Amino acid sequence: MKTSYSNRKYIIISIFLITGIIYLMRLFYLQVIDDTYALSADINVLRKVTQYPARGLVYDRNGKLLVYNEAAYDLMVTPGQVKEIDTLELSTLIGIDTKTFKERLVKARKYSTYKPSVFEKQISKESYGYLEEKLYKFPGFFVQPRTLRKYSFPISGHLLGYIGEVNQKTIDKDNYYRSGDYIGVSGIESSYEKELRGRKGSKLIMVDVHNREKGNYQDGKYDTIAIMGKDLYIYLDADLQAYGEKLMHNKRGSIVAIDPSTGGIIVLISSPGYDPNLLVGRVRTNNYRALQADTLKPLFNRALMAQYPPGSTFKLVNALIGLQEGVVFPNTRYSCNMGYYAGGLHIGCHDHISPLNLKQSIQHSCNAYYCNVFRSILDKKEYGGTSNGYNVWRDHVMSLGLNQKFDTDIPNELSGFIPETTYYDKYYGKNKWKSLTVISLAIGQGEILTTPLQLANLSAVIANGGFYYKPHIIKAIGEPNNYITKYGKRNYTRIDTRHYDVVTEGMYDVVEAGTARWFKIDSIPFCGKTGTVENPHGKDHSIFIAFAPKDDPKIAISVIVENAGFGSTWAAPIASLMIEKYLKGQIIRKHLEDNILNKDLMSEN
């Protein structure tokens, strides 16, 4: 028993000795080797400053700088460090009144007494120079460097987008962001936020009792470097975009141009638009409210979100479907006696030669021809009823890129509308409607809605002979040759390639000797189709789609001018000038250009 007791005594003594040695070693490490606790003890004389990275730059297809950064500063406050200060002097320095100053200080205290928060955002580098000289007078206040977006040209506000302060919902979802951070809100600033934003860093700065910075703590040992965001290279042509915006001045509508060989968006214009520099810096909030209140709706992106009946441009779709379904052939002729007559219904048409074949029906935009074609598709015997025939027709239409979002890097696009059979069943009763009931679809009227982007893509489909690349903005990320391939898949339609040739020839004749013959371009053969869209709320809308050159297309375009009448009156000449500018680099037809530039259609409506 004595031996057992003795053994236990030595074991207990050993445990105490080992525990003591461990504590001594840990204490030595903490006090002599590791300085983490020293850093924590000194935190009241150190300031952690976030290093915000510069956002990536944006370049157009020709290497022109579109979006860059400019230095700006946020005035930060740590309420627990604020002593007796001259609030009037500081208020004057940053351009606010003393009441606002006190309200902001109360708000900052509610957020945290010891954590810094933004007191005044986006102080310019000029104002910062005055503030910096006197900042030592105001303990608890310091300046946080950051950058502001700047835009080289007053163009393309809808496509480029803008940045704004992050909201709490985003902060809760993504731990990258903190209160006071900025994030892309619209356009490519939003689509490519993660690529553009870069990676934040931080600095520990020593500060004396007078709020003066004394340098980096331990020579920057604990600092991390901010990494700039990646640059973007986009398909947009800045010169053509600027020219198109000039042509659309004092007009409501849109221009969308696509490179058929890539799906890259060359031009995206919504008119009226806005200068993206208006939504930068401290003036952003007031300018945004003013733009939002403007009855002309400059913030509304018509190119992606306005939905119109396609009018006579849709005859190209019905021609292609009729050819595919074998109900019409290139030499099929129909007569037109100033319109289409059936069942007591009359759809009018303008004066032209009659009868016409398919190519001539496109050239002269014959309504009667396409009423016959449309009814032949829906009433085809093999389908055993109008509803079945309509579903076949609708599937063809959708394969051409209509009634759907392209779901690429284009934010806020709408899908348009091609009704399902259930839509008509609801209004007329199941199996109680016929092809004549929906005959307005034959000429692109009725319930059909399309977006300007979809119409430009339709033109690209025909230019390519039956396929398209989904329209997108991005060309390369990081380096100009680091091309993006994710949108490189060809999307084929349900229409055989062989059927596109006759439609292309018809579109060529539209420009050479048809409804747009006044706007052909010397040495640039191109194909187009006019459209006049009935508008129950005022004058008709003018529409034109085209691609050029005819045999090696480089540009596919849609132009819509609201409340402007016939497609040949305003949309066609604007598209023609855009094609000339893009392919020739200059405008020869100055008389036509002057007529467009000097026309104010807004004051007439």
CATH number, domain at 124? Answer: 3.90.1310.10
In a domain, 284, yes or no: no
CATH number for position 416: 3.40.710.10
Q: CB burial class (10 A; 0-12, 13-18, 19+) of residue 489?
A: exposed
Average pLDDT over residues 153-182: 90
In this predicted structure, the answer to whether residue 282 has a pLDDT above a threshold of 90 is no
Query: Looking at residue 298, what DSSP letter applies?
Result: T
| Whether residue 230 sits in one domain with residue 243 | no
Verify that 502 and 480 share a domain, yes or no: yes
Contact by Cβ (8 Å): 540, 558: no
Q: Phi, psi at residue 116, to the nearest 5°?
A: -70, 150
- Give the pLDDT confidence of 70-82 residue by residue, as tens digits: 888 889 888 888 8
Averaged pLDDT for residues 338-345? 90
Establish if 262 belongs to a structural domain: yes
Asked whether residue 605 is assigned to any structural domain, the reply reads no
Distance of alpha carbon 109 from alpha carbon 378, whole angstroms: 70
For the stretch 28-82, pLDDT in tens is: 665 555 554 444 444 456 777 788 899 999 999 999 999 999 888 889 888 888 8
What gap in Å lies between CA 133 and CA 145, rounded to an integer? Answer: 16
Residues of 10-41 as b/e, b for ≥16 C-beta within 10 angstroms? eeeeeeeeeeeeeeeeeeeeeeeeeeeeeeee
Q: Are residues 247 and 230 in the same domain?
A: no
| 397 assigned to some structural domain | yes
Q: Is residue 29 domain-resident? A: yes
Residues sharing a CB contact under 8 Å with residue 301, sequence separation 6 or more, in sequence order: 158, 270, 412
Same-domain status, 338 and 439: yes
What is the extent of the structural domain holding 325? 238-276+299-597
Of 183, 214, 234, which residue sits at a domain end?
A: 234
252 and 269 in a single domain? The answer is yes
Distance CA 336, CA 355 (A): 6
- Determine the 3-state secondary structure of 204 from DSSP: strand
What is the pLDDT at residue 210?
Answer: 58
State pLDDT tens for residues 489-513.
999 999 999 999 999 999 999 999 9
119 and 253 part of one domain: no
Q: Are residues 480 and 563 both part of a single domain?
A: yes
pTM (two decimals): 0.87
Are residues 267 and 218 located together in one domain of the fold?
A: no
SS3 (DSSP) at 33: helix
Question: Whole-angstrom distance between the N-terminal and C-terminal Cα of the chain?
Answer: 113
Among residues 439, 448, 450, 446, the alpha carbon closest in space to that of 367 is found at 439
Q: Assess whether 308 and 352 both reside in one domain.
A: yes
pLDDT at 84: 83
- State the total domains in the chain: 3
Question: What whole-number distance in Å separates Cα of residue 78 and Cα of residue 249?
Answer: 49
Which amino acid appears at position 94 of this protein? I
Alpha helices in 138-257 (DSSP H): 157-160, 168-173, 187-191, 193-197, 238-247
Residue with tokens 């520990």: 204
Highest mean pLDDT among 213-217, 410-414, 470-474: 470-474
The alpha carbon of residue 69 and the mean position of all alpha carbons in its chain are separated, in whole angstroms, by 20
| Residue 283 domain flag | no
Mean pLDDT of the chain: 90
Domain assignment of residue 93, yes or no: yes
Q: Tell me what pLDDT residue 209 has.
A: 61
354 and 303 in one domain? yes
What's the rounded Cα separation, in Å, for the pair 156 and 473? Answer: 12
Would 246 be classed as within a structural domain?
yes
Q: For residue 258, which amino acid is it?
A: I
Cβ(391)–Cβ(422) below 8 Å: no
Domain co-membership, 182 together with 209: yes
| pLDDT exceeds cutoff 80 at 217 | no
Would you say how long the chain is, in residues? 605
Q: Are residues 592 and 459 in the same domain?
A: yes
pLDDT at 7: 63
Does the N-terminal peptide bond of residue 411 adopt cis geometry, omega within 30 degrees of 0?
Answer: no
Task: Give the up-direction half-sphere exposure of residue 364: CA atoms within 13 A in the CB hemisphere.
Answer: 22
